[in-house]
Amino acid sequence: MVKISDIEGGQVIKNEFNGITRDLLKQYAKSSGDTNPIHTNDAIAERAGLKGVIAHGLFSFGFISKLFEDFLEQGKYGKIIEIGVEMRGMVRCGDLLITEASIEKIEGNRVYFNVKQTTFTNIEIKDKDGNIVKKFEAGERGYISDKDREQGLVKTKEISEGVLSYRERVATPGSAIIELYE
Amino acid sequence: MDQEQIKKNAEFLVNNLSGKEIPGSARFKVRYKKMVDFAGIYGITDPKYVGPEEKGVIACHAFANSFAVNAFYILVPGLKVKQNGEERPLVLNPNKLLHAGNKYNWEDCVDIKNGDVLIATGKISKIWVVEKNLILFAELLLTVKNQNDELVCKVTSTAAIRPGGY
C-alpha cells in the first residue's frame, strides 16, 4: 500500500529495461503510427547520418508511465496527474534503459518527482592484453562520438570476460506529479 | 537562407504566432487491439489495461503517445500565417524540425476506452528563439477530448526548428 505518510523526499523508485530490439521498435512504429523509417530501417537511418536505427523520441516515455502505474498499483492508491519529458539523447537497440524517479517535494496529497532515464550502451570488451574480444553494436556501428568521450560519458568496468567499455548518459530528463488517495 | 532573413523570420514568428489557434482538428478512433498492443510494448499485463475482455478495458498512460505525435504532424502543417503579404507555414523545411519534448497532463480527465473517438485541437502557447544559435522553439498545446466532449488529456509538445527551417 502506498500512502502519503509512508513516503518522503529523496525516495527513489526505478525500473530497468534491457529488451530494446529492432522488432520492438517495429511494433512501436505500427502501434504509434510514427512510421518514419529512421526508426525501423538501418539503411535509411544510415543515409540520414544516424549510423543505424534510433528509437522513437517518445518510445521510452512508456517506461516512465509504467513506473508510476506500477508504483500506484494500477490506480489503486492514486493517479498520475502529469508526466513531462525532454528528448536529449538517442536511445538505441541493445541499450539498457534505467528509469528513476526521485521525490522532489510533497504538497498535500500530491507528490512531485524528478525523473531521469539513463542509457547504458555497451561498446566492446578487451582482454587483459588489450585485445578486443567482443564488439557490441555501438562499437561496430560507431555510435559513440568524440563528444561522448570528451564529456567523460565513456567508462570501463571489469567483468569476467575482461574490461567492458560502455557509455552512460541521461537520455530523458523529466518530471512527474502523482496524487495519492490517502 | 541568409542569417538576416533567418532573424527576420524568427522575429516575425515570435511576434505573430504566440497564442494562435491552429485551424482544424485531428481525429483518432480508439481500438482495443491498439490499446493492448501499446501496453504490450512496455510489458504491461494488468487486466485493467489489457483485458482479457474488451469490455471495461482502459488505455494505459503510454497510449497518449499514439495520438499526441500524430496530432502534432497533422495539425502543425495546417498552421499558416501571412508574412509580407504571402501565406507561409510555421515550418518551411521539415528536415530541420525536431521534437524536443512532451508533457502530458491528465488532471480532470476521463479514461480512454475502446471505441472512443479522440479529437485533438491545438494552439501555439509559446514561441521563442535562442539568440546564440537561432533555434526557434514552439510550444504546442493540444487539447484532446472524446466523442462526449470530455477531456482525456492535455499535451504540451515542444518543437525545435533549426535555422533555415522556419
Predicted confidence at residue A42, as pLDDT, reads 97
Helix (H), strand (E) at residue B130 = strand B117-130
**Distance (Å, whole) CA A105 – CA A92:** 32
Q: Which residue has the cell 483485458?
A: B51
Amino acid at B19: G
Question: Distance (Å) from the C-alpha of residue B26 to the closest C-alpha of chain A?
Answer: 13
Q: Do B37 and A58 touch (CB under 8 A)?
A: no
Average pLDDT over residues B54-61: 95
Closest to A178 measured CA to CA, from A33, A89, A74: A74
Domain count, chain B: 1
With 0-12 / 13-18 / 19 or more C-beta atoms within 10 angstroms meaning exposed / middle / buried, residue B113 is middle
Q: Which residue of B has its CA nearest to A16?
A: B42
Domain with B101, as residue range(s), is 3-30+71-161
DSSP labels, A90-145: ---TT-EEEEEEEEEEEETTEEEEEEEEEEEEEEEEE-TTS-EEEE-HHHHHT---
Predicted confidence at residue B73, as pLDDT, reads 84
**Distance (Å, whole) CA A120 – CA A170:** 9
Residue in B104, B118, B151, B152 to test binding to A, most A beta-carbons within 10 Å:
B104
Within a domain: B16: yes
Total length of chain A: 182
Predicted confidence at residue B98, as pLDDT, reads 86
Closest to A176 measured CA to CA, from A63, A96, A74: A63
- Grid coordinates of B129: 528563439
**The CATH number of the domain where B119 resides is what?**
3.10.129
Within a domain: B62: no
DSSP labels, A70-89: HHTTTTTSEEEEEEEEE--S
Strand partners, B141: B123, B156
Q: What is the pTM of this model?
A: 0.94
- ipTM value of the model? 0.93
Closest to B18 measured CA to CA, from B70, B72, B97, B81: B81
Average pLDDT over residues B33-54: 95
DSSP labels, B72-98: HHHHGGG-EEEETTEEEES-S-GGGEE
Q: Which of the four pLDDT bands, split at 50, 70 and 90, describes residue B77?
A: confident
Chain B partners of A54 at a C-beta cutoff of 8 Å? none
Q: Which residues of B touch A (CB under 8 A)?
A: 34, 37-38, 40-44, 46, 48-49, 60-62, 64-66, 68-70, 99-107, 156, 158
Closest to A72 measured CA to CA, from A40, A101, A32: A101
User: B95-147: per-residue pLDDT in tens?
Assistant: 888 889 999 999 999 999 999 999 999 999 999 999 999 999 999 999 999 99
Within a domain: B131: yes
Chain B partners of A28 at a C-beta cutoff of 8 Å? 41
Predicted confidence at residue B20, as pLDDT, reads 93
Within a domain: B37: no
Taking CA atoms, A25 is separated from A19, A36, A96, B36, in Å, by 10, 11, 15, 16
Predicted confidence at residue B95, as pLDDT, reads 83
Question: Distance (Å) from the C-alpha of residue B57 to the closest C-alpha of chain A?
Answer: 12
Smallest Cβ–Cβ distance between B69 and the set A34, A65, A75 belongs to A34
**Distance (Å, whole) CA B50 – CA B45:** 6
CB B90 within 8 A of CB B81: yes
**Distance (Å, whole) CA A87 – CA A57:** 6
Q: Which of the four pLDDT bands, split at 50, 70 and 90, describes residue B67?
A: very high
Residue in B32, B102, B139, B162 to test binding to A, most A beta-carbons within 10 Å:
B102
Q: What percent of chain B has pLDDT over 70?
A: 100
pLDDT in tens, chain A (182 residues): 899 999 999 999 999 999 999 999 999 999 998 899 999 999 999 999 999 999 999 999 999 999 999 999 999 999 999 999 999 999 999 999 999 999 999 999 999 999 999 999 999 999 999 999 999 999 999 999 999 999 999 999 999 999 999 999 999 999 999 999 99
Within a domain: B88: yes
- Give chain A's domains with CATH numbers: 10-180 (3.10.129.10)
